[in-house]
Structure 1
């Protein structure tokens, strides 16, 4: 069977199949072209008994190849972003340090149990039970201190931000 005949018979079926995989009209069209290009390269040398099944397999492989290629590109972009984000300027380091100093100052305005609960859980990442054991508190008492401390800290930060906006 000639490639032109194969094209006329199966182009619409392949397009619908590839569209259902990619959900993008332009990608599906590109993949149909890729499929028939691969068919052109192969059909000259080989006689294929079930051409429709073979074309669908080629189309699927073209789709997978495209997905892999796109994943590599996205990964490469993400790697670049990660690399760039890890390099901080001196200004960013100063701002981060000032922010931490301000947070510690805000924490000092809380009651001691509330301050310790926030430091252990939110800054050091301990589990509630671990932090409660360290502070020698029952779990529910610890959770109450943590909740109250977070609410107070949120209000302190909001108030500071309002003051800064007025300046």
Structure 2
């Protein structure tokens, strides 16, 4: 009886060590990408860090359900998206007294940050059905097929949405440049 317990205990410890190694490899390989995606979603460092932490906690709990290592990045991105959605489910909006709010003038930014802000604004102006595939392609370098798997869509649908998203973004940038030209001209 004692020998059987030692064998079972050894197997359990070995399984736990293997799971810990798989988890550490997962975190090491994808933490930066997952944080970048979370930050893109929420535009706030501390919230993005919280979402990433929750994502990897859920990944640890469900690590045994990850059968294909090639799907790890898509799996983690799905968890990030769900964690972000959960954030809104449990969010309680704070009320603020308008007299206690101070207004900050942040117009003294550099030109590059202005361009980045404009690009973010233009990306934000795209409908989600176009924005999400484009971000997955630009930030993570996913192929059309990987994006289709990630979003549970047909590959042709994803490719069409990517094409339309790029065209809408290009048109919006041209309109913005034309307006600046008229204002400065």
Q: TM-score, normalised by structure 1?
A: 0.42
Which of 1 and 2 has greater Rg?
Answer: 1
TM-score w.r.t. the length of structure 2 is 0.38
